[in-house]
Amino acid sequence: MPNFINLLLRRSYRTKVNQKLTFFLLVLSLFTGWQCVQASTAQNAPAELKNLLTQIDTAANQGNVKAVMQYYSPSFTHGDGLTRQAMEKALVSLWQRHPKLRYTTQLQSWRRQGNIVIAETVTQISGAPSANSQNMALNATIRSEQRISGQQIVQQNIISERTQLTSGAKPPQIDFKLPQQVKVGQQFSFDAIVSEPLGDDYLLGAALEEPVKADTLLKPSSVNLQLLSAGGLFKIGRAPATPGDTWVSAVIMRSEGTTMVTQRLRIVK
């Protein structure tokens, strides 16, 4: 504890974090999606769609990359600019870091568009600390839309996602507040508040913001953690002038643990 306090008081803490871990999670979330007009409910979904979801979850829970990728079309496209090859590379990297992730996918709605089935699902992903993940626990919720032809995904778009990484014996409990979407040029608030008494503890923290781009997905970001004078992060941001998606992250560290939360913010016209 004394050494940690000295660190806080003397200088900021510089580290590398993967703000883009939600990208890796999107390849975990093999189904999720936009609400569809006149969509059918999950209860009356065709058996082949339910079976497909189950098969993908099973392959993902086994960490079987080849089995998962057989459900992606060779012509697969993604709203973030990813290719099928990039998705496979991301899965390999993710499962090397987090070898025992668990996937649970729930179908929310579906509809047909000619020979295409459009499925909306929500996927919960969790992973316990491991040496490969630098002893970080992972929890994520991802919503996306899949366009399915036969037994393969031909297109995917992520609608919303939130990822939390924690490490240490007592990571900070964070109340993370950020809108799901804002209009171009709109001002928005972003809070990451530690929701438990701190006592004599100190906090280091930083906020990060980065556009969602396929060419930066695998690159970790450097961040300077500063000593916080209050019990969290309180920021005012302004959306870019052009539509797109942005990752907004909060990293907060205390003497007994670290928490990082990342959420996708959609910028619309």
pLDDT tens figures, 80-101: 888 899 889 888 988 988 888 9
Domain count, the chain: 1
Task: With residue 97 as reference, give the H or E element that holds it.
Answer: helix 84-97
Alpha-carbon span 131 to 64, nearest angstrom: 20
Alpha-carbon span 172 to 24, nearest angstrom: 23
**Domain of residue 81, CATH code:** 3.10.450.50
pLDDT tens figures, 232-249: 999 999 999 999 999 999
Lowest-confidence segment of 35-44, 57-66, 186-195 by average pLDDT: 35-44
Neighbours of 174 (CB within 10 A): 23
pLDDT of 7 reads 33
Alpha-carbon span 192 to 173, nearest angstrom: 10
Tell whether the model's pLDDT for residue 1 goes beyond 70.
no
Alpha-carbon span 33 to 164, nearest angstrom: 20
Range of the domain at 236: 2-268
Tell whether the model's pLDDT for residue 27 goes beyond 60.
no
pLDDT of 16 reads 52
pLDDT tens figures, 54-88: 999 999 999 999 999 999 999 999 988 888 998 89
pLDDT tens figures, 132-165: 778 899 999 999 999 999 999 999 999 999 999 9
Mean pLDDT rounded to a whole number for the chain: 83
Alpha-carbon span 166 to 250, nearest angstrom: 12
Amino acid 132 reads: N
Average pLDDT of the residues in 191-219: 84
Alpha-carbon span 78 to 128, nearest angstrom: 28
